[in-house]
Structure 1
Amino acid sequence: MKAHVFYTKALLWCGLLCSLSFFTTCSDDDDDDMAGTFYGPLVTVGQGNARTWVTTNDAGTPTSLGLTFSEQAITGNLGNAMRMYTLALPAQADQTLYDHVMLDWNPQGHDPGPLYGAPHFDLHFYMIPPDQVANIQGSAATDQMPAAQFRPQNYMITPGIVPGMGAHWIDFTDVNNTPGNFAKNFIYGSFNGNFIFHEPMFTLAYLKTLPTIGTQTMDIPQPASYQMAGLYPQRYSFSYNANTKEYTISLLDLTQKQ
């Protein structure tokens, strides 16, 4: 009889403790997995693949995101025609500025040729959905530019609007934006007065040097003010993982602005 009473009391105490700690140890909806790195779907690139990812902290807030290539994606035959790949972001990236990612392979480079004529990749992190990007048309003469306070320091707009992309802004103090010196740079993109993408741009030759030179991390020039509240990357990097044989382009130190 005493054993039965003891067992009953133990069950009651267990139930009480579980109810008091519902949001921690006894809940099926605990937050133990909020920190980590989460991946988007694989997309075939060349003879390999690429996928997006986002890393979150213990509170589930994104701290970095980017794109990772398998080594076969750039060592195999990428083809001699321009290719565009749309990559979805994992659900955890919904808290960031970004809607999706567009990766462009330019085997002959693109205009202006003296600057960007080398085979390279454009990596657009778009803040608007794909259908809006696809509908971008117009000319620099009719396009409204973002207000001066929203433009990053030392950035200037390049001629024209690329259909299905937008206007491109470059850092005129970056040696990579001078003839014969392009390896990698960071571009801002705009349309109708709003910045709509962030873009690391990098040559295939530069990417292939990473196993030798190691990770490179650069600051991202920031504007005086921001057009909308959100998590803005403060740095970006290029790296190679010898164990997984992967190349990664990262937007780092996502920081809340406004």
Structure 2
Amino acid sequence: MRAKKFLSWRALLGAALAISGLTLLIWPTIPAQASGSGPEAAAATTGSVSICLVTADAPTRERNVKVAQWAAEVLLQETPSYRGPCASYGTPSALGNGTVRTYAQVAGNKPQTVGIVFPKSMLTGLPTTMTDGHHCYDMNGDGTVNEHTECVGGHERPLDLPSQLTSLPGMPLKWALVNFNPMGHGPEHIYDHPHFDFHFYTQSKAERDAIRSGPCGLAIDCDDYATATKPLAPQFMPQDYKDNGVAEAAMGNHLIDPFSPEWGSTAFTQTFIYGAYDAKISFLEPMITKAWFEGIEAGVNPSRCWPIKQPQQWQIGGWYPQEYCIDYRANRGDYTVSMKNFKNSAA
């Protein structure tokens, strides 16, 4: 009987939310008469959860609230709310039939989450050509540019990070960049699947933009190739990562983890890349196939996190993420690609 009462409170709350958009319920705990007794009831009535409260009738209004765990579960099912703290957002940029934009969740002076969010509609209506033509070079000098062999970068969307994040003391991240590669890119049979590159830069945008196109490496200027491939000191190289000289125009060098599954017998689905330029880490990059996102919504792939391998020492002290995550939020109809669990290397 008590269990039925507990469920009725949940049903009542769900109905109230659906009808009123929110009469809420910032109740600290479930009412005692509905909670029953025993360890399960004790767990349900203790503690609170931070939620960013959003309602369907005001989807752009976000409020930080603390509620009991049972109420949080209902809110995350019945409203577009999400686990707090509330995010701040960067400027959206159109891509496909949607947009991409950055977001950050900050608690006090500590970053909680830094990522990119987009509606599921973004995965439709995407560009189909190899590249947007922004970074090309006639490498063989035949007077024409082959978009498959002489262009890099796919279709790019530079994004600003929220000022709430970039103004934090010790925050090395400066801006972000999303690249969509409709046909993937090299190496052949590794990354030649339609996928997205999500770059989070420690290098300024002006410095990145100054990496010119040219006839060396991946359509990069030869002097800039030499700068891009300057070796990092061993203590600054992330654990297990290798420098294969994969330097690219408007990007820099790419450091790869040879222990990532795609370098074995498993097809590429997602991985983590570090960028380097002038003997310094320049960006952090989750790289994810379009099919992986679609599989999450379909229930084939899980929403989950993976650890980010760290260097022994960071050249610039500050906040660095220890894991990256890919999530589909069904109650909001969107995806997030995020970096979490920040630790201060200077502490």
Same fold, TM exceeding 0.5?
yes
Q: Tell me what 1:90 maps to.
A: 162
Number of residues paired by the alignment? 226
Match of 1:81 among 130, 134, 138: 130
Query: 1:161-184 CA deviation, whole Å, 9 max, x = no partner?
Result: 111101101111111234661110
Match of 1:134 among 194, 202, 209: 209
Q: Supply the distance in 2 between the matched residues of 1:219 and 1:251 (Cα, whole angstroms).
A: 10
Q: 1:92 to 1:101 in 2, by over 3 A?
A: same
SS at match of 2:256: strand
- Give the AA of the match of 1:187: I
Match of 2:120 among 60, 63, 71: 71
8 A Cα contact 1:236 1:252, kept in partner? yes
Cα distance, 1:134 vs structure 2: 1.3
The within-5 A match list for 1:90-239 is: 90-94=162-166, 95=168, 96-136=171-211, 137=221, 138-139=224-225, 143-178=229-264, 181-211=267-297, 212=299, 213-239=301-327
Match of 1:39 among 89, 110, 116: 89
SS at match of 1:139: helix
8 A Cα contact 1:97 1:230, kept in partner? yes
8 A Cα contact 1:139 1:160, kept in partner? no
Greater mean deviation of Cα atoms: 164-173 or 131-140: 131-140
Cα distance, 1:142 vs structure 2: 7.4
SS at match of 1:78: coil
Q: Supply the distance in 1 between the matched residues of 2:130 and 2:341 (Cα, whole angstroms).
A: 35
Match status 1:248 vs 2:336: yes
Q: Unpaired segments of 5 or more residues in structure 2?
A: 1-63, 66-84, 132-154, 212-220
SS at match of 1:87: strand
Report the TM-score when normalising by structure 1: 0.82
Q: Supply the distance in 1 between the matched residues of 2:210 and 2:293 (Cα, whole angstroms).
A: 31
Q: Tell me what 1:49 maps to.
A: 99
SS at match of 2:179: strand
Query: 1:4-31 CA deviation, whole Å, 9 max, x = no partner?
Result: xxxxxxxxxxxxxxxxxxxxxxxxxxxx
Greater RCO structure (CA 8 Å; 6+ sep) = 1
User: Taking every aligned residue pair, what percent have the same amino acid on both sides?
Assistant: 30
Query: 1:50-79 CA deviation, whole Å, 9 max, x = no partner?
Result: 11000011x242121100111111033333
Q: Supply the distance in 1 between the matched residues of 2:228 and 2:157 (Cα, whole angstroms).
A: 29
Report the TM-score when normalising by structure 2: 0.62
8 A Cα contact 1:186 1:198, kept in partner? yes
Q: Supply the distance in 2 between the matched residues of 1:93 and 1:179 (Cα, whole angstroms).
A: 39
8 A Cα contact 2:228 2:279, kept in partner? no
Q: Supply the distance in 2 between the matched residues of 1:209 and 1:85 (Cα, whole angstroms).
A: 24
8 A Cα contact 2:101 2:118, kept in partner? yes
CA RMSD of aligned residues (A): 2.1
Q: 1:101 to 1:156 in 2, by over 3 A?
A: same
Q: Supply the distance in 2 between the matched residues of 1:77 and 1:45 (Cα, whole angstroms).
A: 7
The within-5 A match list for 1:19-30 is: none
8 A Cα contact 2:95 2:126, kept in partner? no
Q: Unpaired segments of 5 or more residues in structure 1?
A: 1-31
SS at match of 1:132: helix
Query: 1:194-230 CA deviation, whole Å, 9 max, x = no partner?
Result: 0010000011111111121331110000111111111
